[in-house]
Chain A
C-alpha cells in the first residue's frame, strides 16, 4: 500500500519526464523508422540543446527564443552527421559517433564546465520539476503536453508535403527514389537534421525541468529513444495506423518507459542498474522481429513441402 502511494506520488514527475523525453524519441523515430538509419548523434545533440538553452536563458534571452536557438543548434549537429555520411561516405553509425564525440568537447566549451544550474527561483523557466503538482498552465504536464501535440501536428503536415513524401521515400527505397528524381543525399541530411533538432529541443526542456544543464545529460539517450519507439509500437502498433497517431504512440511509449523505471526503482531496484536494464529490454525487443522471421521461415519449410507448394 505504501509503495502504491509512493508510486502515485511520483506519477506526475514520471509522466512529465516521459513527455519531455518523448519529443526526443520522436526525433529518434524520424531517423530510425522513417529514414531507416540508426543515428547516434542524439547522445551529443540532446546535451547540446540543454547547454545552449541554459546559457542563453542565463544571459537573459527570451525563453522561447532560447528554445528555438537550441532547436537550430540541433539542426546543425544533424547537418554535420548527415554530411559526414553523404559527402564523406562514412557509414551513418560511425558518422553519428564522431559527431557525438566532438559535441562533448563543444558542449563543455559552451558551458565552460561540466554542469551549470539554472535556479527556478532566480530565473524564469518554461518548465520545472517543482511545478509538477501545480494546478496551473505552467505545469510541465500541460506545457510539454501542448508542445508535443503541436509538434506532432506540424510533423504530420510536413510528412504529407512533397518534401516530406520525398523524405519518406528516401527511407523506404533508395533506388526508387533516385529513379523518381529525388536527391537521396539531400533528404538523408534533411532527415537527420530534423531529428536532431527535435532531440536538442527536448534536451532544452529537460535542462530547465531538472534545473541544470549537464554535458552528460545525453548519455545513453539513443537507448531511451529506441525504447520509447519500441514500447510505443508494441503497445499501440495494432490500433494506431495513422501517422500522427504513430508519433503519439512514441510519446506515450516514452511515458510508459518512465513509469516502468519509476516503478522498478520504487520496488527497490538499484538505480545504478537502470541503464543495463534499459539496454537489455531494447535488445530483446529489437531481436523479436528477427526471431519471428526465423521461426516463420523454419515453419514454412516444414509445412509447405508438399501439396501447399505444388
Chain B
C-alpha cells in the first residue's frame, strides 16, 4: 500500500542550521497494516509523515501509494489518497466554519469542487449518524462553529473527517499528544474503532510506549532520520516498555531522549 524508497531530507542545507531530518528511509506497508512509530526528539518521525503527505518535497528517493508514484505531486493532490490528523487540534479543522461544513469539505476530498451545493440535506442526516458514533454529543451541534469545541472533540472530528472518504493511508501525527490523559484515551479508542471497522492502512506516531506496543500490528523505532527497529506480529505483542528502551540503547548507542516519553 505504501512504499517509501531511500527518501532523504535535509532542512536548511548549507547553513548553520543544517539538519539532516531523514537519512535514507525505506519502508513498505501492506494493505491493512497499522504501524506505530516511536523515537526521540528530532528522530524524523513527523518529517517522514510530512514527506508522505507532501508538505515538503523530498531531496531524493520515491514515495509510492498503492502503485501511484506521488513523489512529485503537490500536497493538495496527494490528499486524495490520504487521511491526516495532526498533533495540534487547531490544525485539522476550520474553526470559523460549522461542524457540518467541515465534514462536507472532507467528504469532497479528491473530487473537483464546482458549483454544486456545498452540503446536501442527505449529507446532513449522514453526518448526524456518524457523529453519534463518537458519543461526544456533537450530533446535536451540527451547525455550531468548530472553534467552540474542545481539543478532544476537534481531534475526534478531524479523525472522522480524515476517514469520511476512505483513504488509502491514514496518517496520525501524535494526534493524542495535546490532550489530557482521559481524552487521549477516548480519541485513541475511537481511532482503533474506525481503523478496524474500515480496515485502514495506518501510520501512527505516538510518544506513549505502552500504546505503541498495544495498538496496531507493527512497530517501528526511529533515530537520527533512520528506522532502527522494525517489529511486527507476535514478536511485537510480546514487547514490554523496558524492552523498547533497551532496544533503543543497543541500536542507537544512547538513551532515548524524548521529553514526552519520559514524562508519560
Q: Report which A residues bind B (CB closer than 8 A).
A: 158, 160-166, 168-169, 172-173, 175-184
A172, A173, A182, A184: the one contacting B113 at CB < 8 Å is A182
Contacts of A163 in B (CB 8 A): 113-115
Q: How far is the CA of A184 from the CA of B74 in the complex (A)?
A: 11
The answer to whether B106 touches A180 (Cβ under 8 A) is yes
Contacts of B111 in A (CB 8 A): 162, 181
Apart from A176-B94, A181-B111, what 12 extra A-B contacts exist at CB < 8 Å? A161-B116, A162-B114, A162-B116, A165-B104, A165-B105, A165-B118, A168-B97, A176-B91, A179-B162, A180-B109, A181-B108, A181-B109
Residue B188, interface by CB 8 Å: no
Return the chain A residue nearest B162 by Cβ: A179
A164–chain B nearest beta-carbon distance, Å: 6
Residue B80, interface by CB 8 Å: yes
Return the chain B residue nearest A171 by Cβ: B96
Return the chain B residue nearest A165 by Cβ: B118
A37–chain B nearest beta-carbon distance, Å: 15
The answer to whether B113 touches A180 (Cβ under 8 A) is no
Contact residues of B between 63 and 97, Cβ < 8 Å to A: 74-77, 79-80, 82, 84, 86, 90-97
Question: Would you list 11 pairs from A and B whose C-beta atoms are within 8 A, ordered by A residue?
Answer: A158-B115, A162-B118, A163-B113, A163-B114, A168-B101, A178-B75, A179-B53, A180-B106, A181-B80, A181-B108, A181-B109
The answer to whether B113 touches A162 (Cβ under 8 A) is yes
Contacts of B96 in A (CB 8 A): 168, 172
Contacts of B95 in A (CB 8 A): 172-173
The answer to whether A180 touches B105 (Cβ under 8 A) is yes
The answer to whether A162 touches B92 (Cβ under 8 A) is no
Most chain-B Cβ atoms within 10 A of its Cβ — which of A158, A178, A180, A183?
A180
B119–chain A nearest beta-carbon distance, Å: 8
Residue B16, interface by CB 8 Å: no
Residue B61, interface by CB 8 Å: no
The answer to whether A178 touches B113 (Cβ under 8 A) is no
Interface string of B145-178 (1 = CB under 8 A from A): 0000000000000000110000000000000000
Residue B117, interface by CB 8 Å: yes
The answer to whether A162 touches B108 (Cβ under 8 A) is yes
Most chain-A Cβ atoms within 10 A of its Cβ — which of B75, B94, B111?
B94
Contacts of B77 in A (CB 8 A): 181
A228–chain B nearest beta-carbon distance, Å: 21
Residue B110, interface by CB 8 Å: yes
Most chain-B Cβ atoms within 10 A of its Cβ — which of A168, A173, A178, A181?
A181
Contacts of A165 in B (CB 8 A): 97, 101, 104-105, 113, 118-119
Q: How far is the CA of A158 from the CA of B117 in the complex (A)?
A: 9
Contacts of A177 in B (CB 8 A): 76, 94, 105
Q: How far is the CA of A168 from the CA of B176 in the complex (A)?
A: 27
Contacts of A172 in B (CB 8 A): 94-97
Most chain-B Cβ atoms within 10 A of its Cβ — which of A160, A163, A165, A182?
A165
Pairs A-B, 9 closest by C-beta atoms = A181-B79, A172-B94, A162-B113, A165-B118, A181-B109, A173-B94, A172-B96, A178-B75, A161-B115
B86, B115, B117, B161: the one contacting A180 at CB < 8 Å is B161
B91, B104, B110: the one contacting A181 at CB < 8 Å is B110
A242–chain B nearest beta-carbon distance, Å: 11
Q: How far is the CA of A252 from the CA of B7 in the complex (A)?
A: 56
Return the chain B residue nearest A173 by Cβ: B94
The answer to whether B93 touches A176 (Cβ under 8 A) is yes
The answer to whether A166 touches B115 (Cβ under 8 A) is no
A250–chain B nearest beta-carbon distance, Å: 17
The answer to whether B118 touches A161 (Cβ under 8 A) is yes
Contacts of A160 in B (CB 8 A): 117-119
The answer to whether A176 touches B92 (Cβ under 8 A) is yes
The answer to whether B92 touches A179 (Cβ under 8 A) is yes
A175–chain B nearest beta-carbon distance, Å: 5
A158, A164, A168, A182: the one contacting B76 at CB < 8 Å is A182
Contacts of B113 in A (CB 8 A): 161-163, 165-166, 182
Contacts of B115 in A (CB 8 A): 158, 161-163
Contacts of A168 in B (CB 8 A): 94, 96-97, 101
Contacts of A182 in B (CB 8 A): 76, 79, 105, 113
Contacts of A179 in B (CB 8 A): 53, 75, 79, 82, 84, 86, 92, 162
Return the chain B residue nearest A168 by Cβ: B97
A143–chain B nearest beta-carbon distance, Å: 28
A164, A176, A183: the one contacting B118 at CB < 8 Å is A164
